[in-house]
Amino acid sequence: MTIGVDLGGTNIAVGLVDEAGNILRRAKAKTLPERGPKAVTDDIAALCRAVMADGGPVEVRSVGIGTPGSIDRERGMVVHAYNLGFDHLPLGPMLEAALPGIPVRVENDANAAALGEAFRGGARDYASSILVTLGTGIGGGIVMDGKLLTGHNGAAGEIGHHVIVFDGHPCTCGMRGCWEAYASATGLIRQTAEAMDAAPDSAMHAISAAAGKVSGRTAFEAARAGDAAGRAVVERYLDYLAAGLINLINILQPEAVCIGGGVAGEGRPFLEAVRGRVKRGVFRSEQGETEVVLAELGNDAGLIGAALVGRAGPY
């Protein structure tokens, strides 16, 4: 058994995970990062003790934590995590002190999710895969031959922050034209709102009014209802999404690209539309093409992946 911890800005989710990647027990608490790192770390330790004890004692070999921000794996340190207020926090050593005898490892949350999907989720049949999570931003991670690709400095896999529109829309990272600024849910919502301003007769107005807001679903729903402006937004969005996928494939040629996050909830028609675009753009080889698949673990990807991080030797 190992424990996986998915540490987020809002919630801490902890799970006891078996060798096959099944979550056997769960515990959860609010993060409330404004209390400071010591209180958050104490709560993580308490949640770990809870899943070890509740339902009968079990032997736990390791704890893995997926955390936002930049990390130093060797030191188990969260170098910077702005939404948690962590700055050079030795999270691993602090938890090892609180959980004597159990090694604790720290990983970036997007990388942990990529590991989860690679071993247990949508990419489980592929030795190399890239997870692309379409949410507020674009998260993701690269798994090659079963190992996370972390780069020489631990910071690789920032797939959302590669430029697809030179001199384009400002990105949260300070650059312009990043894939994230166009193909995240946030990017889709911005494109939807812009199209609504330009098309006062579009069905997108009624759809968003009924939902109470413009969301990543507005344009997709309008397109399904036959709205031309909605369809144009969707088509353009899919083009942006495919551009970044094609870039990653032409550079890395993984066996699979796995798409998750809210937008991927559009399901099969969305997947087929993405596949068609990708197929037209990538460098193909007679020795195999990259499969585009949907993520399957949802919010559990990070927790399950974190449990793997704890378990694995060097990965």
**Is 151 a residue that touches its own copies (CB under 8 A)?**
yes
**Is 271 a residue that touches its own copies (CB under 8 A)?**
no
For residue 12, the minimal CB distance to its own copies (Å) is 25
**Is 10 a residue that touches its own copies (CB under 8 A)?**
no
Residue 79 C-beta-side C-alpha neighbours within 13 Å: 12
**Strands across the sheet containing 23-30:** 23-30, 11-17, 2-7, 63-67, 104-108
**Is 127 a residue that touches its own copies (CB under 8 A)?**
yes
**Is 243 a residue that touches its own copies (CB under 8 A)?**
yes
Residue 117 to residue 124: CA distance in whole angstroms: 6
Range in contact with its own copies (rule: CB under 8 A) among 49-57, 171-179, 219-227, 258-266: 171-179
Residue of 6, 43, 117, 255 that binds its own copies (CB under 8 A): 255
**Is 68 a residue that touches its own copies (CB under 8 A)?**
no
- CB nearer to its own copies: give 49 or 75: 75
259 φ, ψ (degrees, to nearest 5): -105, 125
For residue 32, the minimal CB distance to its own copies (Å) is 27
Residue of 53, 97, 173, 211 that binds its own copies (CB under 8 A): 173
The DSSP H or E segment spanning 15 is strand 11-17
Residue 272 CB-density burial (10 A; 0-12 exposed, 13-18 middle, 19+ buried): exposed
**Is 248 a residue that touches its own copies (CB under 8 A)?**
yes
143 φ, ψ (degrees, to nearest 5): -115, 120
How many residues form the binding site for its own copies (CB under 8 A)?
51
Report which of 299, 288, 291 is spatially closest to residue 265, judged by C-alpha positions: 299
**Is 93 a residue that touches its own copies (CB under 8 A)?**
no
Residue 202 to residue 4: CA distance in whole angstroms: 46
Q: How many residues can be counted in the chain? A: 315
Range in contact with its own copies (rule: CB under 8 A) among 1-9, 58-66, 173-181, 266-274: 173-181
Write 228-234 long-range contacts (CB < 8 A, 24+).
Answer: 228/202, 229/195, 229/196, 229/198, 229/199, 229/202, 229/203, 229/204, 230/195, 230/202, 230/203, 230/204, 232/195, 233/188, 233/191, 233/192, 233/195, 233/204
Residue 183 to residue 240: CA distance in whole angstroms: 6
- CB nearer to its own copies: give 157 or 230: 157
**Contacts of its own copies in 212-241 (CB under 8 A):** 239-240
**Is 117 a residue that touches its own copies (CB under 8 A)?**
no
- CB nearer to its own copies: give 53 or 155: 155
**Is 36 a residue that touches its own copies (CB under 8 A)?**
no
For residue 225, the minimal CB distance to its own copies (Å) is 27
List residues binding its own copies (CB under 8 A): 70, 72, 79, 126-128, 142, 144, 149-159, 161-166, 168, 173, 175, 177, 182, 239-240, 243, 246-248, 250-255, 281, 283-290
